Amino acid sequence: MTTVTLDEKPAQRGAAQLAAWLLAVAASIPALLVLALIAAFAFAGQAGAQETECGGRNILGELRDSDPAAYKRVLDEAAAIPNGQGIVWKVEKAGLAPSWLMGTMHLTDARVLSMPDTARAAWPLAQTVIVESDEILDEKKAMAGLLSRPELTMLTDGATITGLLSASDARKLDAGLKARGLSLPLVARMQPWMISSFVSLPACEYARKAKGAAFLDQKIAGDAKAEGKTLVGLETMEEQLSAMTDLPVKFHLDALIETLALGSRMDDAVETMIELYRAGDVGLTMPMLKTLTPLGTDPDQGYAAFEQRIIVDRNKVMATRAAPYFNRGHVFMAVGALHLPGDEGLVSLLRQQGYTVTRAQ
């Protein structure tokens, strides 16, 4: 494959969609479970990631002060997204006990782990808890599936990430990995999207996960199991990673390069996402992330493929597989928040199944 460098024109690299892609992963696929894979290869935890303070500034606050017109455009775009506000929804149908749908972020931040009051009130009523994958509680099962399909996580054609990047970008990647307790040679044969997940995380989040901290979905699944509730996973880890690898390697390589170019702005993006999530403004996530893309590029270029394969296709699978459980009532379903809004989001899909779905947060 041709080496890709940061010196190429943004339009040539299709960089416009990449900032959105990187942070969308945090809300649509628990890709951070890749840390478990690294542990299995003895790449992480040897000395432990260094604990560091979390940082980041609110991107929308800065935009409001610096460019009110652009800020208004972001708000208008978000307002046009159906079901873009709310992370907790009540799901009802005549003759059934109520159920609940909650959006999550796959992060360990304490602000994310603290569920809204409406979700905490609904929790004791739930008999069945649905998450994206119940393998988040069974590392051995997840690992068995991943190791049986090495192409899902590794470059199996003899290529290395250093061979795909320019020398300058490889040095930047090496520095980004070292800040998280990893060395470039140890991950050189991993898929670019996996490496992106390491360098897109704030160092504080990586440090917590490397030390075994649970992200929100893991905590929900663990609590369900501890309390004797029926735990249901809608996808296998293999299916989730297959969705990622269905996208071209070039797409993921561009995402990695864009991550390096954004530098500390990634921390700002994660901080803003957390604040939006806590406010229930899920629909603002993508419009906000598009503000990070280079001037003169099309923010939607390339993102459509990601949205279709990683979000929309999986929404349909989730809605279909969750249907038998919702038909019994007493369900608490918790999946990535970006799966909820939009014409083809889970809120809309459940309504199409005949449920009344109302915002509860």
Query: Which range scores top for mean pLDDT: 42-46, 64-68, 158-162?
Result: 64-68
Q: Which range has the worst mean pLDDT, 27-41, 97-111, 179-193, 201-215?
A: 27-41
Establish if 104 belongs to a structural domain. Answer: yes
pLDDT in tens, 250-276: 788 877 877 777 778 888 988 999 999
Q: Quickly count: other Cβ atoms within 10 Å of residue 326's Cβ.
A: 23
Interval 307-312 mean pLDDT: 87
Q: Can you give the three-state secondary structure of 323-348, one letter per residue?
A: HHHHCCCCEEEEEEHHHCCCCCCHHH
Establish if 2 belongs to a structural domain. Answer: no
Q: Is the pLDDT of residue 201 over 70?
A: yes
- Per-residue pLDDT at 343: 96
User: In Å, how far are 2, 222, 248, 268, 294 from 11, measured between CA atoms?
Assistant: 17, 44, 17, 24, 9
| Count of domains for the chain | 1
Q: Domain range for residue 31?
A: 12-359
- Per-residue pLDDT at 294: 55
Establish if 205 belongs to a structural domain. Answer: yes
- At 1, is the pLDDT very low, low, confident or very high (cuts 50, 70, 90)? very low
CA 91 – CA 88 distance, rounded (Å): 10
Q: Which range has the worst mean pLDDT, 55-64, 105-114, 176-185, 294-303?
A: 294-303
Q: Kindly report whether the global pTM for this prediction surpasses the value 0.75.
A: yes
Establish if 7 belongs to a structural domain. Answer: no
Establish if 47 belongs to a structural domain. Answer: yes
CA 94 – CA 104 distance, rounded (Å): 27
- Per-residue pLDDT at 120: 97
What beta strand segments (E) does the chain contain? 88-92, 99-104, 128-131, 230-233, 331-336, 356-359
Q: Is the pLDDT of residue 299 over 70?
A: no
Q: Quickly count: other Cβ atoms within 10 Å of residue 1's Cβ.
A: 11
- At 293, is the pLDDT very low, low, confident or very high (cuts 50, 70, 90)? low
Question: Pick the residue with more confidence: 266 or 298?
Answer: 266
| CA geometry: angle 31, 52, 111, nearest 5 deg | 60
Establish if 106 belongs to a structural domain. Answer: yes
pLDDT in tens, 63-99: 999 999 999 999 999 999 999 999 999 999 999 999 9
Establish if 61 belongs to a structural domain. Answer: yes
Q: Is the pLDDT of residue 233 over 70?
A: yes
Question: Pick the residue with more confidence: 142 or 214?
Answer: 214
Interval 163-175 mean pLDDT: 87
Establish if 4 belongs to a structural domain. Answer: no
